[in-house]
Chains A and B, each alone.
Chain A
Amino acid sequence: MDALIAPLLNGSAQGALLLLAALGLSLTFGQMGVINMAHGEFLMIGAFAAYLVQQVITASDLSIPVALPVAFVVAGLFGLLLEVTIIRWMYRRPLDTLLVTVGVGLILQQAALQIFPSQGVPVEKPGWLDGQMNILGYNWPLRQLFTILLAGVCVAALSAWLKYTSFGRRIRATVHNRDLAETSGISTRTIDRLTFFVGSGLAGVAGVAASLIGGTNSQMGAQYIIPAFLVVAAGGIGQLKGTIVAAWAVGLALAFFAYWTTGSLAQVLAFILVIVFLQVRPQGLFTVRTRSLA
C-alpha cells in the first residue's frame, strides 16, 4: 500500500504545482497564441517576492499569506510591462514572440542572479506547514497539501472570475473569436493586457508555492517552463479542465516514474509520454472547436 500511496500523494502535489505554473500560461497562450517563455521567470519573481516580504514581515506564519497577493501583483505588473513594451508589437508573429520572451527570460534570470545571492535565498516555511499528516501509514508533509489547496483555490477563483464577471466573459469571447469579439465592441487590447496581468500574476503565486517546496534561485523558473508548456499542450488550449487533468496526470507520471526509476529518468519518460500522447490527440485533451484550417 505504501508503494502506491507515497507517489500518489507526492505526484498530486507535484501536479498541483505544475497546474499553478501552467494556469497562467494556458490563459495567455489560449487567448493570444503567444508562448511567453519568460513565464518561468515570472514564477521566479513571485518566489523572490515571497523572500522580500519575509524580510519585512519576519513572522513566517504571517508572511506567506501576505506574500501570495504581493507576488501576484508584482509578477502581474512585470507581465503587464512585458505586454505593453514588447508583446503588443508582435501579435502577428507568435513564433517570434516565443524567441523574444526567451531573451527577456535570459535578462530577468541574469538580473536575479546579480541582485540576489547566486546560491539562492531561503524562504522560511510557516510553522503551520511544518507538520505531517498520516494518510494510510504514510507521513504526508503538510506543505504538499497546502500546494494542492492553493491550486484548488486559484482554479476556483479563476474559473469563477472567467464565468461570472464581465471581464471574464469578454476574455472568453476573445479566446473563442477575436474578430467577432472586437466587432461586438470589446476592446481586445484592454482584454489582452488584463489577461497578461492575471496570467503572469498566477505565475507569481506559483512561485510562492514553489519557494516552499524547492529552492529559490535564479534558475528555478527555467525548470518549470517546459513541463508547464507540455501540460498546456496536452490539456488543450482554451479550457481550464484540460489543463487541470493534464497537470495532475503529468505530476502523477513524474512521481511514479521517479519511484520506479530515478528522478532524472522520470523527467525523460514523462516528456516522451506527452509527445506520444500528442500523437494520439494533437489538439490536446479538450479543445474549443473552431472552423479554422490551421
Chain B
Amino acid sequence: MTKKPWISLSGIGVFAVLLLAVAPLVLSDHWLNNLGKYCCWAIAAVGIGLAWGRGGMLVMGQGVFFALGAYSMAMHLTLETAGDRVPGFMVLYDPLAPLPMFWEPFRSTGFTLLAIVLLPVVVAGALGYALFKRRVKGAYFAILTQALAVALATLISSTIRETGGDTGLSDFKYFFGFVLNDPANRLMVYLIAATLLIVCLLAVWQFYRSRFGELLVATRDAEERVRFLGYDPANVKLVAFVVSALMASIGGAMFVPIVGIITPAEIGAAASILMIAGVALGGRASLFGPALGAMAVGWGQSSLGSTWPDGWTYILGLLFVVVILFLPNGLSSLPARLMRRQRPGPVEPPAPAIAPAELEEVKS
C-alpha cells in the first residue's frame, strides 16, 4: 500500500527502540508490567487489523484464540508450580481428584509451545475452512465468531474442577524454570512480549507489501471480482484468519506470565469486543493503528476501568459510536484528512476502505 516502504520500516524501528530500550529505562516495574500487558493485547490487535482491516472479516471472537494460547500457557505454568502434585484448586473439592487427561501433555515445555502455535492454527483453519468455503461472511461471520467466544467462556466458567472456572488459573511461580517474582525475570518476560509484538508488526508489514496483501484487500473490496479472476477468495481469507488467530494466541500466551491470572472474563464477549475497540480507534487498515489503539484502550481499561468504571464504560461505548461513525479508518487517518482539508486542489481519491462491495451484502 505505502509507496515508500522504508518509512513504515523505520517506524517499526523507532517503535522497537521505544519498547525495547527506552521503556525499560524510564518506566517503573509496575508500569513496565502494565505495558507488557498492553503489548499482549496489541499482538492480538495486529492480527485483528489483518483480518478485519485488510481482509474485511469482522472477527468478534478473537477471545477464543486468545484463550487457546492463554490457557495452554496457564496450564503449563500451573503444573510447573504444582510440581509432582495435582494443582491446588483441583483438590479443593475432592482431595483425591486425578489430573484430567488433557492436562497431562502440558507438563512438557515443547508440547505447550507447540500447542500455543498449533491449536489456534488447527481451530481457526477448520472453522475458517468451513465458513469461508460456504461463503459465510459479513454479519453472519461476525456473530458466529462472537457466539464461539461466548460459548467457550461459558464452558470454562462451568468446568470449575478442570479449568478453575470463573476464578481462573493464577498463582504461577515459575516461567519455564525462571522464578516469576524476580524483577530481572519479569523484565525478561516483558522483553519477550515486546519483541513478539515487533515481530508481528514486521510480519504484517511484509504481508501488506506482498501479492497476498494485495489479494486480501481485493477480496475485501470486491470478492466476486477476485473469484472471477480465478482466485479462490476463501483461501485468501482463510490464511488471513489463521494468521490473526495465531497472533491472538501468542498474545494470550504472553498475557499469562505478565498478568499472572487468566479467567473467562478475559476471553469472553466483552473482552473480544474490547480488542476490536482498540483496532477501530487506531485505524483498522493501517500498520500501526491496531497496535497503538489496543495499547491506548488497554491503558484506559486498566487505569480508568478500575478508578472510574462507570465513566469508562460510557467512554468505551461512545468510542465505538464516534470513531466508527465519523472516522471509520481510525485516528491513523486523521492526519491525512486534516492535510487534505488544508491543501485543497488535486487530491488523491479517498481510500476505499469501506468498499461499495459491502452494499452487496445487504442483499444477501
Q: List chain A positions with a Cβ less than 8 A from chain B.
A: 29, 32-33, 35, 86, 89-96, 98-100, 102-107, 109-110, 113-114, 178, 222, 226, 229-230, 233, 262-265, 267-268, 271-272, 274-275, 278-279, 282, 290, 292-294
Contacts and interface: CB of A to CB of B under 8 A. Distances in A.
The 7 closest A-B pairs by CB, nearest first: A103-B320, A264-B158, A33-B362, A106-B317, A107-B317, A294-B360, A292-B363
B154 A96 contact: no
B358 to A, nearest CB: 6
A110 B151 contact: no
23 contacts: A92-B356, A92-B359, A99-B276, A99-B324, A103-B317, A104-B321, A106-B313, A106-B314, A106-B317, A106-B320, A107-B318, A110-B313, A114-B310, A229-B147, A264-B158, A268-B152, A272-B151, A282-B135, A292-B363, A292-B364, A293-B224, A294-B223, A294-B361
A278 B359 contact: no
B interface SS class: helix
A233 B135 CA distance: 14
Contacts of B354: 92-93, 96
A233 B362 contact: no
A86 B321 contact: yes
A268 B362 contact: no
Nearest to B276: A99
Query: Number of contact residues on B: which range applies?
Result: 35 or more
A237 to B, nearest CB: 9
B273 interface: yes
Contacts of B152: 268
Interface of B: 56, 58, 130-131, 134-136, 138-140, 142-144, 146-148, 150-152, 154-155, 157-158, 223-224, 269, 273, 276, 280, 310, 313-314, 316-321, 324-325, 328, 354, 356, 358-364
B8 to A, nearest CB: 26
Contacts, number: 143
A86 B321 CA distance: 8
Contacts of A29: 139
A294 B363 contact: yes
A94 B362 contact: yes
Q: Chain A interface mostly helix, strand, loop or mixed?
A: helix
B308 to A, nearest CB: 12
Nearest to A91: B362
Contacts of B142: 35, 95, 98
Nearest to B150: A226
A67 B179 CA distance: 61
Nearest to B320: A103
Given A93-B358, A99-B320, A222-B269, A294 B150 contact: no
A40 to B, nearest CB: 11
A86 B361 CA distance: 20
Contacts of B223: 294
Contacts of B356: 92
Q: Please indicate which of the listed interface residues B154, B276, B317 has the most CB atoms of chain A within 10 Å of its own CB.
A: B317
Contact of A275 (B139, B144, B316): B144
Given A99-B320, A107-B317, A265 B143 contact: no
Q: Which of B131, B134, B364 has the most CB of A within 10 A?
A: B364
Contacts of B144: 230, 233, 275, 278
A110 B317 contact: yes
Nearest to B134: A282
B130, B152, B358 — most chain A CB neighbours (10 Å): B358
Contact of B58 (A91, A98, A222): A98
A230 B321 contact: no
B70 to A, nearest CB: 19
A95 B58 contact: yes
B154 A268 contact: yes
Contacts of A292: 360, 363-364
Contact of B320 (A95, A102, A272): A102
B321 A100 contact: yes
Contacts of B224: 293-294
Contact of B139 (A35, A90, A106, A290): A35
Contacts of B328: 93, 96
A75 B53 CA distance: 34
Contacts of A96: 324, 328, 354
A96 B322 CA distance: 12
B183 to A, nearest CB: 37
B139 A278 contact: no
A103 B316 contact: yes
Given A94-B139, A268-B154, A275-B147, A107 B361 contact: no
Nearest to A269: B151
B309 to A, nearest CB: 9
A34 B141 CA distance: 14
B139 A104 contact: no
Contact of B136 (A226, A229, A264, A278): A278
Given A226-B143, A271-B148, A294-B364, A95 B358 contact: yes
